[in-house]
Structure 1
Amino acid sequence: MPPSPRPAAPLPRRPAIAFPRPLAAALPRRLTRVLWSAGPALRGSWLIALLVVCAGAAGLAYGAGFGGARPLLLALAPVLPVAGVAFSYGPYADPMYEISAASPSCGLRLVLTRAAAVLGVSLPLLTGVSALLPGTPGLPGAAAWLLPGLALTLGALALGSYIGCRAAAGIVAAGWSSAVLLPVLAARSGGSGGAGAFPVRELAEQLGRYLSGGVTQGGWAAAAALCAGLVLLRRDRLEAA
């Protein structure tokens, strides 16, 4: 009796090829994480105040015919992102701060995400509204405040690693307001201009000193770079800010 044929050996299975997850499926999850991280920066009183400032400047310029609307907006613009960053990070701003502080994205990454959200909203909005307002002789361009605003925001973050974000934002905002407004008030009290009139020309000239010119803008860029370096060096202290 002939021997029965041996059963054929099973072919080895090829390892399953792991295809990369489609990009369309990964994007919603990443977008959700980014929006969750940036959430406190894009809601609350700061965003309402920003919209009120922009709407008020446009209403003063075109509704009341006030010629100082654009200088006032440019005087306020550099410190509005500072306030937005200060009120978007910390236990007083985020009801889920303890949970987020324990996550891998806490600290510097979370601060920079919310700072980027604040700057991403305030920079184009304030610049666009300022460009639509009537100009004033001696006043710098609508985008001249961008580097100063960035430098002040990074300066507030760097100082916030020592004393906390809210206190640092208050000091930076007070310093900028004093540097811009005190010379204008001193010139007004010295007798230049009519009594009781808003010092449009003096404010425009003072803003020109701080915002106009390549040397001035280069100084703001250098200050922004120095503050960014200090933020990186002090990144471990931002968790407690």
Structure 2
Amino acid sequence: MIHGNAHVWHASAGLVARYADGSLAEPDAWSLEKHLEYCPGCAALVSRAVRGTAAGTVLDEVRETVLGAAPAGAARFVAAPALSRRARLLWAAGPAVRGAWLPAVLLVAVGAMALGYGGGVPGARALLLAIAPVVPVAGVALSYGPHADPLYEVAAASPAGGLRLALTRTAAVLAVSLPLLTVAGLLLPASGAPAAAAWLLPGLALTLGTLALASFTGCRTAAGVTAGGWLCAVGVPVSGTPGGEVTTPLTEQLSRCFDGAGAQGAWAAAAVLSAALLTARRPAYDRLLRR
């Protein structure tokens, strides 16, 4: 079926022919499709073979329909084979990184800086730390699912779809939000608030918890539950404070949630448990496209 050594192999002519006519066994077909992600030579062979079958005409029609219905920017992206690998990775990172979520993260960081220095609010870091853990959760909700991606069904059904696609897009969300919000926190006056990096473990735990819960409910519902639970945990005790002063009780509440080895250890345990549940629930991500 294949030739080459155990580490570098290429599809044989017979394997390609059976794949093109639909007679290749499903496990072998999935293995070949996975290989095509990293082997342009074999991908070109398979493409030529499939175009020579009746399915090739249908695929050409589907491609023209997708390109015709896509926004101009997306069509140019698909049609330009010379685009850099970095640009392709950014596109694959998901709608959150490409869309309105990224400006929203910048708005949160800049808004906190404006409150701290322009508005003279002493608890600006506390306000930022209260919001920061739910920012990546929102990014995950906007990155994965039929509501977020017009080609979701196609991507989720591919060998790189399912949980792998969700984790890829989650990593992109975290890579943007974690350093940006942490640096903003470092630049703000402490004013008794927890350290600027104290939210990182809670943010990771909430994100992993969202992914694990999404295997039962879908991403948007899971994000609503985890983000809503966190905001209630930090907001409800503050809302009952007389006099309308919120920054001082918010700072105290965040200190209880973030400060100390016990609190951070609890968040670390929650992250590990969420990761374990997510691993156990991995097959459920292959069924999310039917929800």
Whole-Å separation in 2 of the counterparts to 1:119 and 1:218:
20
Counterpart pick for 2:279 among 220, 232, 237: 232
Task: Tell me if 1:129 matches 2:184.
Answer: yes
Tell me which protein shows more helix as a share of its residues: 2
- Shift of the 30–103 alpha-carbon distance from structure 1 to 2, 3 Å rule, reads farther
Q: 2:117 aligns with which of 30, 45, 62?
A: 62
Q: Report the AA paired with residue 107 of structure 1.
A: G
- Deviation digits for residues 212-239 of structure 1 (CA, Å, limit 9, x no counterpart): 1011111111110110011111112124
Partner residue in 2 for 1:143: 197
Question: Helix, strand or coil for the counterpart of 1:87?
Answer: helix
**CA displacement at 1:31 relative to structure 2:** 4.6
Offset, 1:29: 7.6
Task: Indicate yes or no: 2:227 matched with 1:180.
Answer: no
CA distance in 2, matches of 1:67, 1:237: 46
1:112 aligns with 2:152: no
Which structure carries more relative contact order (alpha carbon 8 Å, separation 6+)?
1
Using a 3 Å threshold, how does the CA distance of structure 1 residues 222 and 30 change in structure 2: closer, same or farther? Answer: farther
Cα offset, 1:100, TM superposition: 0.8
% same residue: 59
Report the TM-score when normalising by structure 1: 0.81
Contact 1:85/1:115 (<8 A) preserved: yes
Q: Using the alignment, how far apart are the partners of 1:134 and 1:82 within structure 2?
A: 26
Asked whether 1:34 is paired with 2:89, we answer yes
Partners of 2:219 and 2:207 lie apart in 1 by 10
Within the alignment, does 1:205 sit opposite 2:252 as a pair? yes
Give yes or no for the alignment of 1:171 onto 2:225. yes
**One-letter code aligned to 2:203:** G
Contact 2:91-2:98 within 8 A present in 1 as well: no
Q: What amino acid sits opposite 1:34 in the alignment?
A: L
Taking the aligned partners of 1:31 and 1:105, their CA distance within structure 2 comes to: 18
RMSD: 1.9
Secondary structure, counterpart of 1:141 in structure 2 = coil
How many residue pairs were aligned? 208
Measured in 2, the distance between the counterparts of 1:97 and 1:29 equals 23
In 2, Cα distance between equivalents of 1:30 and 1:154 = 28
- Would the alpha carbon gap of residues 30 and 222 (structure 1) be closer, same or farther in structure 2, given more than 3 Å must change? farther
CA shift, 1:69, in A, is 1.2
After superposition, the C-alpha distances for 1:19-71 in whole angstroms (9 at most, x for unaligned) are 9xxxxx9xx98656533321323121221211111111111111111112111
Q: TM-score, normalised by structure 2?
A: 0.68
Equivalent-residue separation in structure 2 for 1:87 and 1:115 (angstroms): 10
Runs of 4+ in 1 over 4 A off after TM superposition: 28-33
Q: Secondary structure at the match of 2:134?
A: helix
Query: Does structure 1 conserve the Cα–Cα contact (< 8 Å) formed by 2:205 and 2:274?
Result: yes
> Structure 1: which 5+ residue stretches go unaligned?
1-18, 20-24, 190-194
Structure 1 partner of 2:51: none
**Quick check: which has more Rg, 1 or 2?**
1
- Displacement of 1:101 in angstroms is 1.6
